[in-house]
Structure formats: C-alpha cells, structure tokens
Amino acid sequence: MAVFTEEEQQRIQKAVADAEKNTSGEVRVCMEKTCSEEALDRAAKYFAQLEMHKTKLRNGVLIYVATVDRKFAIIGDAGINSVVPANFWDTTKEEMLSQFKYGNLVEGIVAGIGIAGGQLKKYFPSVANDVNELPDDIAFMDGN
C-alpha cells in the first residue's frame, strides 16, 4: 500500500520515536485504504490485533486512517483513558482534521502523534530501563 513516500514514512516513524522518547507510553499508526464500518470500531479491532492492550501500563495510543474512505480515529488504552480529559480524543481529532482537510495527511498524523505524546509524557513519564513495547513502524492493513 503505497500511501506514503519513504521519506514520509520515516517522518511518521520519527514522530512516533520522538513522542515515545520521554514516556513509557506507546504510539502506533495504522493505515488502510478502505473502511466498511465506523472508524472507531475498526480502530478498536486493529488495536486488539496489534496487541496494543498488552503494554505494561495500558498506555498505548492508536491513530487509525482509512485513506480512500477518508475516515480516521484515535483511541487510547484504559491507562491513558483514565487520566486524560474527557474531550481529549475529540480535540486531538480536530487538530488532525485541520490538516487533513487541506490534504496534509502526514502533517495531520504527525500532529496527532505529537499531541498524544505530550499527554503520555505528562501522565506516563519515562522510567528507568524503559522498553519500547511496540514497533514504531506504520501498520499497513488490507481491510479484512
């Protein structure tokens, strides 16, 4: 699925690595072309499939984007959901959407990663011997 150039993929992966630098939290980006259901439901499916719920502190964040259907969602695990403000995911989506509506897909994703990373740093600061529990690469799915 060639949604991004190699440079754009590296930029997104660097944003993930930077966001995780000062936190024990984990961020993943999941992409696919089409989404035949509600984006949040699909994101929850991939959250489980990517085993994001298995982080030690339950502080994983998934940014999901379906490019052709122009749908996206951002969700967090129980640990982060218990500490961020109630409207946090909605305000993060609005920031991302402000880039998406101008065709700036990479900038929107990077913005979402940065915002999520800021909250992860605030509530789940880096700890000694922190282990990167999840890959930083983009998960490209096939829509099944």
State pLDDT tens for residues 78-109. Answer: 999 999 988 899 999 999 999 999 999 999 99
Mean pLDDT across 57-71:
94
Question: What is the distance between the terminal CA atoms of the chain, rounded to a whole angstrom?
Answer: 14
Decide if 87 is inside a domain: yes
CA dist., res. 113 & res. 102, Å (int) = 18
pTM: 0.94
Distance, CA of 25 to CA of 58 (rounded, Å): 8
Tell me if 31 is assigned to some domain. Answer: yes
Residue 1, domain member (yes or no):
no
Q: Is residue 59 part of a domain?
A: yes
How confident is the model at residue 144, as a pLDDT? 55
Residue-number span of the structural domain to which 101 is assigned:
6-140
For residue 74, is pLDDT > 90?
Answer: yes
C-beta atoms surrounding 30 within 10 Å: 23
**For the chain, what is the domain count?**
1
Q: Is the model's pLDDT at 68 over the cut of 80? A: yes
74 lies in some domain: yes
Cβ pair 126, 24 in contact under 8 A? yes
In a domain, 33, yes or no: yes
Q: Rounded to 5 degrees, what angle do the CA atoms 14, 128, 81 make?
A: 65
Residues in a beta bridge with 72? 65
Cβ of 11: how many Cβ atoms within 10 Å? 16
- CB–CB of 122/82 below 8 Å? no
CATH number at residue 41: 3.10.310.50
Q: Is the confidence at residue 2, as pLDDT, over 80?
A: no
b/e code 56-70 from CB counts within 10 Å (16+ = b)? ebbbbbbbbbbbeee
